[in-house]
Every structure is written in structure tokens, then in C-alpha cells.
Amino acid sequence: FPEMVTNPKLVLVQGTLNVVMKQNVTLSCLSEPASPPVRYALFKHNQQVSALNRSDLSPALFTLTISSASDVGEYKCKAEYNNSSGGKYSNSLTFTLLEPISKPVLSSPTSQAKKGQNVTLSCFSENGSLPITYLFFKGTQNISPQKTMQKREAAVIFLFINSLSDFGTYKCKANNSFPNNTKYSNGFNFTLAEERSHSQPLIIALGLILLLFIIGLALAIPFFVIPLYKSSK
């Protein structure tokens, strides 16, 4: 009976599974115990991308360069004897492409606020690998714990406008696993909304009554005052 190889082990020996463009990674594939020579083939999504023959007990080393998004995904290797029709497959390793985040946008449903009001701020980076971590600032001081978003959605915080000191410049920053990729948002300022006094409606009503009185008096002069004046003569 022809000797069969065992299922090889695929191991990452250089680089990381989270990769960036133009990064090199090295995979090791070894079936043990196996009597050489052994042919090792590397597959990506069931398509062979490379093959090596080993005449000793050393592993086959495959070096890949991540040059496009098509280079990431699931990899496996296969070990077989040259004179056999079978072969055994290894475990799989999956590479994920890290993308830099875009500049986050800080926004709020309202730009005006008054003392004693609750407001919200949302921070959102449209592009970049998930998860993305957000942190909110007022000036240079952070005002909330960091929020890590696993989905493509905005991080939201709630604020209570308690005093005039809460009317300042707010910002947020975003980062992900992409190395050296922290981005800051635009600045956002709440403006103080003018508060109407309780006497304003009364003043407006009195003004309207006075205006109507003047209009009524002006209309009454031709019909009542002038004829009365003429009759008195």
C-alpha cells in the first residue's frame, strides 16, 4: 500500500493576519511525520497559487506580498507524494485587509442650545476597517469614555448644557487597527439660543390692541368726529 501523508499544519511565521497593502507575510506548511520527498501546494479559495517540493523534513515556506484586496482571504496548503493521487489539506488561515479611516465628521441635530438643555453629538468615519474607536473632546479634555463601534455606525454621546462654559469647541477622534492612523474631526460649536421672557407675549398682545385702537380711531374720524364738528358750527 502506498504511504499516505498526514494533514499538514499551516502556520504564520512572519507578519500578521491583519495586513496592510504591500505587506509581506510568510506561511509554513509541514506534514509530519512524512517520508520525503513531499510536494506542498498553497491554495487560496481552492485555487493553487504556489507549490514547492521538499526532499527533506523541512517545512515549505511560502512568502506572499499583499498587493491588492484580492490577495486577502482564506489560505490552505496541501501535502502529497509525487507518485500518489491523494493528498491531505491543512487548517486554514484567513487574512484581513486593514484600511485607513477617513476623517470623522462631528455633528448634532441642533446647533443652538440653552442652559438646562440636553443635546447629542455624533462622530462618524465613513471609511476604514472595523472596529473603529471614537473619543470625544471639549477643547483638549476628553469628555466621555472611548466608544468602539463594531458596525458602520456613528458613536453618539449625550450632553447636558449646564452653564456658559459648556458652549465651547467640541471635537472627536477616530482610529482603528491600521498603524499610525488617528484622525480628528472638524470643530463643532453650540450657539446660545435666545430665551424669550414670559412678558413678551403680553407686550405683543398689548401692542396689537393699541394698534387696533389707533386704526379704529382713524376710521372713526371721517364718520363721527368730522360730522359732529360740522354740526356744532
Query: Mean pLDDT over all residues of the chain?
Result: 88
Q: Is 47 helix (H, G, I), strand (E, B) or coil?
A: strand
- Which tops the pLDDT comparison, 164 or 201? 164
What pLDDT sits at residue 1?
42
Rounded Cα–Cα distance for residues 125 and 33 (Å): 50
Report pLDDT digits (tens) over 55-96: 998 999 999 999 998 999 999 999 998 766 678 999 999 999
Judged by phi (left if over 0) then psi (alpha if -120 to 50, else beta), residue 68 lies in beta
What pLDDT sits at residue 231?
63
Strand partners, 156: 122
Report pLDDT digits (tens) over 178-209: 989 999 999 999 988 875 555 566 778 788 88
Domains along the chain with CATH numbers:
7-95 (2.60.40.10), 103-190 (2.60.40.10)
pLDDT band at 46 (very low <50, low <70, confident <90, very high): confident
